[in-house]
């Protein structure tokens, strides 16, 4: 595991070094280099263009033109009008097509603006994460997945063995990654334990297990190449043949086996996305879709099914039935929005995983106080003061999801005595959301 941590540390240092030495120098120009002559100084070897002289129109041509003009003037007007109607119809058709095109373009622009414009009715704009191993950015999970994949493939050429282990874990589904790792471990253990048995030194690429569990998993073939395998054809069939000489420089099979067993998904840290709110802004409790385990359409269908079941049953619910119903609702949520109200009416808001502990809420609040040594209580409107016995319980356990407001108080003091006191750090007050 320490080898993987060193890998990320080294890559961050390399990125920082490149950033420092990266310059903006352009191409140089020698002082004694001849300059290009300007347009006015360039001489041309071509003669000036002289238009050809036009010939006079003959009398026969004049007569033919006059006859053609007479035929046009004496032509039936009904045929002319028919042609004009066709032209008008075509012009109308083209104008209608242009109008539809403008309307579609305008609709696309409005749709794009709606998608990019933040929804001001939401309590927060989403769930965001950090990844200290790669950078200090704060991004949604989808963007981090793309960024992690790009980062790993950039390192693949320079460190194929360890990077390919991480690609297997981070660029495939959990189930596929686990099956692939088990198979690769078996390949390497067979070679380590039976180095002289030829059957363990080659893999038929058309083999069913290899095709299903290894061949099409991202990073798997790169790992085998780093471990000493190379592809050859035997009797028109593809095989991977192992050779000690082909192992990546500085690696050996026991080290690669250990890296394969210890590599795991790159962890993301949930960002609290701390906000400071005025009392009028704390009324917004609409949560973004990221807080839910299911999509909005699935949630609507679930609610509709519960409503229909209730209408059809029309019976009194037992305590067990109510608890099952409550748990089904709670399982819809992946994250919770926690707000802490201070005596002066200011709120702080943070995002939590539903399985995080109550002690994590206390830590967030403490980190926001100007005096971090201050003792305080948090009070739930439904269950009262959160005690020491609650510290190891999760938000899910105490049903403090999907959103909850906790009251901040100082032990032994009446609220009226410190109603105007500001407990927050000055830099946090700059985060007060504008209306």
Note the pLDDT tens digit of each residue in 306-329. 565 555 555 555 656 556 655 665
The 10 Å CB-count burial string (b at 16+, else e) for 316-334 is eeeeeeeeeeeeeeeebbb
Q: DSSP characters for 190-248?
A: HHHH-TT-GGGSEEETT-HHHIIIIITSTTHHHHHHHTTEEEEEETTEEEEEE-GGGSP
Both tokens assigned to 205: 């690429």
Confidence of residue 435 (pLDDT cuts 50, 70, 90): very low
- Has residue 85 got a pLDDT over 60? yes
Confidence of residue 240 (pLDDT cuts 50, 70, 90): very high
Alpha-carbon Rg for the chain, nearest whole angstrom, is 37
Question: Tens digit of pLDDT for each residue in 21-53?
Answer: 554 444 444 444 454 444 444 444 445 545 555
**Other Cβ atoms within 10 Å of 170 Cβ, number:** 19
Residue 223 phi, psi (nearest 5): -65, -45
Q: Can you tell me the distance from the alpha carbon of 134 to that of 149, in angstroms, rounded to the nearest whole number?
A: 11
Please work out, in degrees rounded to the nearest 5, the angle formed at the alpha carbon of residue 332 by the alpha carbons of 398 and 292.
Answer: 110
Task: Provide the pLDDT for residue 332.
Answer: 82
Please work out, in degrees rounded to the nearest 5, the angle formed at the alpha carbon of residue 167 by the alpha carbons of 162 and 168.
Answer: 100
User: Are the CB atoms for 224 and 168 separated by under 8 Å?
Assistant: no
CA neighbor of 371 nearest in space, from 415, 410, 413, 344: 410
Domains of the chain from N-terminus onward: 129-262 (1.20.58.2190), 275-293+333-431 (3.10.20.90)
**Other Cβ atoms within 10 Å of 370 Cβ, number:** 13
* SS3 per residue for 118-183: CCCCECCCCCCEEECCCEEEEECHHHHHHHHHHHHHHHCCCCHHHHHHHHHHHCCCHHHHHHHHHH
Q: DSSP characters for 349-399?
A: EEEEETTSBHHHHHHHHHHHBSSTT---EEEETTTEE--GGGTTSBTTTTT
**Other Cβ atoms within 10 Å of 172 Cβ, number:** 18
Question: Average of pLDDT values for 276-304?
Answer: 73
Residues in the chain: 435
Confidence of residue 299 (pLDDT cuts 50, 70, 90): low
- Has residue 92 got a pLDDT over 60? yes
Question: Average of pLDDT values for 420-435?
Answer: 79
Q: Can you tell me the distance from the alpha carbon of 32 to that of 171, in angstroms, rounded to the nearest whole number?
A: 55
Q: Can you tell me the distance from the alpha carbon of 176 to that of 211, in angstroms, rounded to the nearest whole number?
A: 12
Task: Provide the pLDDT for residue 56.
Answer: 59
Confidence of residue 172 (pLDDT cuts 50, 70, 90): very high
Task: Provide the pLDDT for residue 213.
Answer: 95
Question: Average of pLDDT values for 266-283?
Answer: 89
Task: Provide the pLDDT for residue 210.
Answer: 95
Task: Provide the pLDDT for residue 286.
Answer: 82
Where is pLDDT greater, at 203 or 108?
203
- Has residue 416 got a pLDDT over 80? no
Where is pLDDT greater, at 315 or 275?
275
Where is pLDDT greater, at 302 or 187?
187
Both tokens assigned to 286: 């609409």
Both tokens assigned to 303: 């609610």
Question: Average of pLDDT values for 378-404?
Answer: 89
Confidence of residue 381 (pLDDT cuts 50, 70, 90): confident
The end-to-end CA distance of the chain, in Å, is: 48
User: What are the start-end ranges of the H helices in 285-331?
Assistant: 296-313, 319-330
- The pLDDT mean for the chain works out to 79
Question: Tens digit of pLDDT for each residue in 199-223?
Answer: 999 999 999 999 999 999 999 999 9
Task: Provide the pLDDT for residue 144.
Answer: 94
Longest dimension (CA), the chain: 120
Both tokens assigned to 254: 């026991």
Question: Average of pLDDT values for 4-24?
Answer: 65
Task: Provide the pLDDT for residue 334.
Answer: 87
Task: Provide the pLDDT for residue 41.
Answer: 45
Is 188 buried (19+), middle (13-18) or exposed (0-12) by CB count in 10 A?
buried
- Has residue 78 got a pLDDT over 80? no
Residue 164 phi, psi (nearest 5): -65, -35
Q: Can you tell me the distance from the alpha carbon of 161 to that of 254, in angstroms, rounded to the nearest whole number?
A: 12
């Amino acid at each position: 595991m320490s080898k993987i941590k060193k890998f990320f540390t080294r890559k961050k240092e390399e990125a920082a070094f490149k950033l420092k030495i990266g310059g903006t120098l352009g191409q140089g120009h020698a002082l004694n280099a001849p300059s290009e002559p300007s347009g006015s100084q360039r001489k041309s070897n071509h003669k000036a263009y002289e238009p050809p002289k036009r010939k006079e129109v003959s009398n026969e041509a004049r007569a033919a033109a006059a006859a053609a003009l007479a035929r046009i003037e004496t032509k039936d007007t009904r045929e002319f009008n028919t042609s004009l109607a066709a032209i008008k119809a075509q012009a109308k058709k083209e104008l209608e097509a242009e109008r539809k095109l403008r309307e579609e373009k305008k609709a696309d622009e409005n749709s794009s603006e709606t998608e990019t414009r933040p929804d001001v009715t939401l309590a927060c704009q989403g769930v965001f994460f950090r990844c200290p191993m790669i950078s200090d950015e704060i991004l949604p999970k989808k963007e981090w997945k793309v960024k992690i994949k790009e980062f790993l493939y950039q390192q693949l050429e320079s460190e194929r063995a360890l990077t390919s282990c991480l690609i297997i874990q981070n660029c495939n589904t959990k189930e596929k990654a686990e099956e692939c790792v088990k198979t690769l471990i078996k390949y390497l253990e067979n070679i380590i334990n039976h180095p002289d048995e030829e059957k363990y030194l080659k893999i038929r690429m058309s083999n069913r297990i290899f095709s299903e569990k290894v061949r099409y998993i991202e990073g798997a073939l790169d790992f085998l190449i780093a471990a000493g395998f190379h592809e050859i054809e035997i009797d028109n069939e593809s095989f991977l043949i192992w050779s000690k000489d082909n192992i990546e420089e500085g690696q050996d099979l026991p080290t690669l086996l250990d890296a394969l067993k210890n590599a795991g998904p790159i962890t993301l840290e949930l960002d609290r996305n701390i906000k400071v709110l005025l009392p009028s802004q704390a009324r917004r409790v609409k949560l973004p879709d990221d807080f839910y385990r299911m999509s909005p359409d699935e949630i609507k269908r679930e609610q509709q099914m519960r409503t229909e079941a209730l209408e059809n049953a029309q019976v009194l619910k037992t305590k067990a039935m109510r608890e099952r119903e409550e748990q089904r609702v709670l399982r819809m949520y992946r994250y919770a929005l926690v707000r802490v109200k201070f005596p002066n009416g200011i709120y702080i808001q943070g995002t939590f995983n539903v399985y995080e502990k109550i002690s994590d809420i206390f830590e967030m609040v403490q980190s926001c106080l100007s005096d971090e040594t201050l003792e305080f209580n948090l009070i739930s409107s439904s269950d009262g003061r959160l005690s020491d016995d609650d510290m190891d319980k999760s938000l899910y356990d105490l049903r403090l999801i999907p959103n909850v407001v906790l009251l901040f108080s100082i032990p032994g003091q009446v609220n009226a005595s410190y109603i105007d006191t500001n407990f927050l750090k000055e830099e946090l007050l700059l985060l007060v959301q504008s209306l």
